[in-house]
Structure formats: structure tokens, C-alpha cells
Amino acid sequence: MRLATLLLDGHETVCCVSSDGQRCWPATDAEGAPYASMAELIRRVSAVPQDMPAGETFPLDPAMLRAPLVPARNIMCVGKNYGDHVREFAQSGFDSSGGKGAETVPEAPIIFTKTPETVIGPGEPIRIPHGLSRQVDYEAELAVVIGQGGRGIARAAAMEHVFGFTIVNDVTARDLQLKHGQWFLGKSIDGFCPMGPWIVTADELDAANIAIQCRVNGELRQDATTADLIFDIPALIEAISAGITLKPGDVIATGTPAGVGAGFTPPRFLAPGDVVTIDVAGIGRLENGVV
Ligand code: MG
């Protein structure tokens, strides 16, 4: 099932989307009442929902799409989780966590976060913060949406806690990432996490092998699958929940493959007028222009 947050008559409304992405209808509970938000739906439904009642459907206009979910707390993200990206990032000179051994694959997941205020929807502009950063970069990623929460989740049970998947662009100010040593400031600039176009529930995807592609102005930059992840989704859930209680609606961005702008010589950062398009097989397309 595909679940989107749409702007209908001025109100953000949680809707089901047909499998071809062409039609939609408001999601309702067993009593026929709408959900106040995607977060509320996930809290109440927790596990992957069976078919929602289908009312009258209407055409989905992409302009209606909002970010499917604005998390209640920071989005959890994974650094250096694809081998080819570890190498390109080490060689780029932008890895302040690097130095000796930077090209070595991490022995444990590197986790950082982005504030909820970074989240923007499909079609909303990525804003280059003039005077703050001149090196804004894209990172196409599969994101996991947690359903049932928990602490100390074992690898074997991890997928039972996944509600679904969506796409994020972990937009990054490379100069701030380098300057401040820790990644938070360069990752958490307001509006730096496009998300969408919707959530696909976990029953519809094989998380172990999902193709991810990113294009800038139509040019293919990133092309990988989640089979290439250094730490797969169960490993990430196990590592994060070891000490942090995961809650329904938490979002974990799983890391970006090789092909980011910083990995080119010379680097190819985003500029006003660029369009970043991320395609993830089985989910759809997330596209945002740059201003
Ligand atoms: Mg990232």
C-alpha cells in the first residue's frame, strides 16, 4: 500500500494512492474516520495495514503531494554505508572524520541526525543558504519508517518493526560538514531533507535489494542497490535500538551510494536552477529543484 500526505482543500490529508500512482482516496479507520496525520496513522496502525477501505477515488495531482511524514524527532541517518562512497568521500577531502584509515569501511554504523525542520515535500525547492554555504550536495537514500517501537531489537526481529519505506535526499553543506568536524550543522539546515513522494508499506518491498538512482538535470550521478549496503536495515535497527527506544514514526535514512557531488574532481555542487531527481524501485520518484 502507498500512503501519501496530500494537500486537499487547504488541509493536509492522509491518503491511499493506487499502485500506478495515478489515483488516490482519503485513508480512514475502521469507523470511517480520517487520520489527523501520517504520524497518527502509524501510531494507531503500527504494523503494516491491510487494505484500507477504498472510497471514491480521484486523480492524484503531483502538486498536492506534501512530505508523507514529518517526524516528531530527529531523522536518524547513517554515514558512509556504501563501500564505493566511503572511498570517494575519503578521497574528496571533505571527511573531517577521516584522516588515517578514512578509506577503511566502518566497523560499526556511523549515526548522525537531522532535525525535523529539514523535511520538505516533493517539488519544494532546496534552498542554497547564501552566506552560509557554497558547497551544497545531494545524497539519494532509501529511508525506513518505524512502525512498532522498541528497545534492544534483535536483528532477527528488526523487520517486524518496519512500517514502510520512502525516499529522502540527505542534502548536505559540505563546507559546514568539514568546518565543524561533527556533521550535524552541515546536515540540518532548514529544508535540507526532501522526502517523498509517499510511504510504501513494508509488505511490498524486498528491502535487501532495492535499486536507487539519482540524476541531476537528467544526468545519472548515483546508481546502486541496497544489496550494496555495508550495514543492512536489520543491522541499523539493532545498532540504534540497542540504547535508544525507537518509536512509531521514527525515520532512519540508510546512507547514500557513490556519486555525490563532492566525489567528483573538481566537485560538482548544486547550483540554482538544478533539478535533483531520485528514483527508487518500488517506491517512485522524488524530485526537487534548487534555488
Ligand atoms: Mg546521507
pLDDT digits (tens, 9 = 90+) for 207-245: 999 999 999 999 999 999 999 999 999 999 999 999 999
Contact 27, 36 (CB under 8 A): no
Position 94 scores a pLDDT of 84
Q: What per-residue string of b and e applies to 148-174 under the rule 16 or more CB within 10 Å gives b?
A: bbbeebeeeebeebbbbbbbbbbbbbb
Ligand 1 center to 121 CA (angstroms): 17
Strand-pair category, 193-201 with 119-120 = parallel
**End-to-end Cα separation, the chain, in angstroms:** 33
SS3 64: helix
Question: 28, 103, 128: which is closest to 263 by C-alpha?
Answer: 103
Ligand 1 center to 28 CA (angstroms): 34
> What's the rounded Cα separation, in Å, for the pair 172 and 193?
9
Ligand 1 center to 6 CA (angstroms): 26
Ligand 1 center to 255 CA (angstroms): 5
Ligand 1 center to 197 CA (angstroms): 18
Position 30 scores a pLDDT of 83
Ligand 1 center to 219 CA (angstroms): 20
Among 54-58, 67-71, 125-129, the range scoring the smallest mean pLDDT is 54-58
Ligand 1 center to 183 CA (angstroms): 10
One CATH from 3.30.56.10, 3.10.180.10, 3.90.850.10, 2.40.110.10 for 75-289: 3.90.850.10
Ligand 1 center to 94 CA (angstroms): 14
Ligand 1 center to 89 CA (angstroms): 11
> What's the rounded Cα separation, in Å, for the pair 205 and 281?
9
Question: Residue 102: pLDDT above 80?
Answer: no
Question: Residue 78: pLDDT above 60?
Answer: yes
Ligand 1 center to 27 CA (angstroms): 31
- Cell digits of residue 110: 556511523
Q: Which pLDDT band holds residue 91 (cuts at 50, 70, 90)?
A: confident
More confident residue, 94 or 117: 117
Position 156 scores a pLDDT of 97
Rounded-to-10 torsion of CA 48, 53, 59, 65:
-40
Give the pTM: 0.95
Ligand 1 center to 69 CA (angstroms): 18
Q: What is the CA radius of gyration of the chain?
A: 18
**Alpha-carbon separation of residue 44 from 30, 133, 139, 147, 252 (angstroms):** 11, 40, 32, 9, 20
Position 105 scores a pLDDT of 84
When mean pLDDT is compared over 45-49, 262-266, 277-281, the highest value belongs to 277-281
- The string of pLDDT tens digits covering residues 160-196 is 999 999 999 999 999 999 999 889 999 999 999 999 9
Ligand 1 center to 178 CA (angstroms): 14
Ligand 1 center to 193 CA (angstroms): 10
Position 93 scores a pLDDT of 84
Residue corresponding to grid cell 561533527: 182
Ligand 1 center to 260 CA (angstroms): 10
Average pLDDT over residues 273-291: 98
